[in-house]
Amino acid sequence: MPAIVVLGAQWGDEGKGKATDLLATSQPIDFVVRTSGGHNAGHTIVVNGEKYATHLLPSGILTPGATSVIANGVVVSPEALFAELDGLIARGVDVAQLVVSANAHVIASYHVAIDKVSERFLGKNQIGTTGRGIGPAYGDKVNRVGVRVADLFDEGILRQKVEAALEVRNQVLAKIYNRRAVEVDAVVEELLSYADRLRPMVADTSLLLNRALDEGRTVLFEGAQATMLDVDHGTYPFVTSSNPVAGGVCVGAGVGPTRIDRVIGVIKAYTTRVGSGPFPTELFDEDGANLQRIGGEIGVSTGRTRRCGWYDAVVARYSARVNGLTEFFLTKLDVLDTWERIPVCVAYEVDGVRHDEMPMTQTEFHHATPVYEYFEGWGEDISGCRSFEELPKNAQAYVQALEEMSGAPFWAVGVGPGREQTVVVRDR
Ligand code: IMP
């Protein structure tokens, strides 16, 4: 199975690393690739009892022998990249096998300034971004005034591009947001200061990955953010500015859809969301607080508390559809150990009408209230279970019921944070 996509099926933070861990137990993974987003992501990885957090780097950076790739669809802050690399180097991690696409767009300090000031300006309509400059960098890309990694190696071109980018940005900063304009010289100097260190890492990553697939190597495309945060398919405008869905992987890596073998959607046994936007199963009561506490639902990137709610099968079915999922990986089932009765959202009611599928408009989605079915809890610690049969009967029934309503087969279930705390439902 050479080309595998692992992506988030809800609003992010589903524990995508668990799926990667399980894949790595059955085959060596040669390449781990990020294809969208930037250092707004957050992966927590535990290796030999040591905890690491990556934001921009693929988790493969911690796997000896694997090549980590930051592909063209990613927006790269060189400052964040080097800070992350230096953090790992200081802990003795070998980071030599990192490749960065020449075509990836660059996040400069002015993108961060604009992200922060525009959020403040939006007031109660704010997106709740991570404030890392992601949206403004993608905005420049689509407006064709972006700076790409390769531009850092040609000062003349770099200056031209920065001038073009700042022409409009500076007007906006000064005239709308009442901020000081950014100086071209300062930005050029800032970006050039990264060039020497970046140069040996840069390559044509589309060529590299396609050749690797031709040779039968295993390539893992590691999702960041998630389906419901997709700029096309998520809860727009409360989304990120890229395409974390499976289609975005092909665009973001320069790899055709016919090359992908598996698309694994990672989904929590309940739901969380960071930032603003609609969330039909969100809980504001003790259950929500308990999910947050037991699940340790605090953002890796921003330290923000995650909003929590019950499993939403409408979202699951939608994710299965827009991603063409071949399977789901259900995570954090153990978090539900103590509930006597577990609600699951099977449909929505919108203005008195039942919707079994995602409503067509965001207005309807904002008005959606969950229709719940209730399942018996299992009331025992499942973190030691290592096979589906070892799970208590009620936990098995919960998993089977979710599978039936979620639109794709369940491959495996996570029962704890450790690499080995996984139950395979069916072998692939
Ligand atoms: P941005 O990606 O910083 O522009 O933020 C846009 C929205 O996506 C905000 O609601 C963020 O909280 C959310 N978001 C971005 N990255 C992640 C992530 O890795 N996990 C969960 N939410 C995220």
Distance 57 CA to ligand 1 centre (A): 16
Ligand 1: which atom is nearest the Cα of residue 275? 10
Low-confidence ranges of the chain (pLDDT < 50): none
Determine which one of 55, 141, 161, 268 is catalytic: 141
Structure tokens given for 206: 């589309």
| Ligand 1 probe mutation, 59, 75, 225, 300, most atoms within 8 A of CB | 225
- CA 112 to the chain's CA centroid: 19
- Phi, psi (deg, nearest 5) at residue 172: -65, -45
pLDDT at 58: 92
Q: How far is CA 25 from the centre of its chain?
A: 22
Q: Is the CB of 139 under 6 A from ligand 1?
A: no
Question: Comparing C-alpha atoms, which of 264, 214, 222, 300 is closest to residue 62?
Answer: 222
How crowded is the C-beta side of 29, counted as CA atoms within 13 Å? 29
pLDDT of residue 407: 97
- Yes or no: say if 270 and 308 are a contact pair by the CB < 8 Å rule: yes
Which residue is closest in CA terms to ligand 1's atom 21? Answer: 12
Q: What tokens appear for 196 in the block?
A: 């020497």
Phi, psi for 30 (deg, rounded to 5): -85, -35
Select from 11, 13, 14, 40 the residue to mutate for testing ligand 1; criterion: most ligand atoms less than 8 Å from CB.
Answer: 40
Beta carbon of 229 within 6 Å of any ligand 1 atom: yes
Which residue among 57, 240, 241 is best mutated to probe the pocket of ligand 1, counting the most ligand atoms within 8 A of its Cβ?
A: 240
Domains of the chain listed by start with CATH number: 3-101+201-264 (3.40.440.10), 105-198 (1.10.300.10), 266-424 (3.90.170.10)
Per-residue model confidence (pLDDT) at position 278: 97
d(CA 131, CA 108): 13
**What mean pLDDT is reported for the chain?**
95
Lookup: tokens for 102 = 């020449």
Is 43 one of the catalytic residues?
yes
- For residue 373, what is the enclosing H or E element? strand 369-376
Q: What is the pLDDT of residue 17?
A: 84
The vertex-421 CA angle with 420 and 423, nearest 5°, equals 105
* Active-site residue, 124 included: no
pLDDT of residue 60: 86
User: Ligand 1: does its nearest atom lie under 6 Å from the Cβ of 42?
Assistant: yes
pLDDT digits 0-9 by tens, 315-361: 999 999 999 999 999 999 999 999 999 999 999 999 999 999 999 99
Helix or strand run (H / E) with residue 70: strand 67-70
CA 282 to centroid of ligand 1, rounded, Å? 17
358 CA to centre of own chain:
21
For residue range 41-80, list pLDDT tens digits in order: 888 887 788 888 899 999 889 888 899 999 999 999 999 9
Q: Indicate which residue's Cα is closest to atom 20 of ligand 1.
A: 12
- The residue type found at 10 is Q
Which of 119, 99, 42, 58 has the alpha carbon at shortest distance from 296? Answer: 42
| Phi, psi dihedral angles at 144 (to 5 degrees) | 65, 35
Please give the distance, rounded to the nearest whole angstrom, from the Cα atom of residue 275 to the centre of ligand 1.
7
The dihedral region occupied by 144, where left means phi > 0, alpha psi between -120 and 50, and beta the remainder, is: left
Of 39, 43, 111, 233, the active-site residue reads 43
For this structure, is 13 an active site residue?
Answer: yes
* 225 alpha carbon – ligand 1 mean position (Å): 6
300 CA from centroid of ligand 1 (Å): 11
Of 331, 222, 256, 245, the closest CA to residue 4 belongs to 222
Please tell me the predicted confidence (pLDDT) of residue 290. 97
274 lines ligand 1 (CB under 6 A): yes
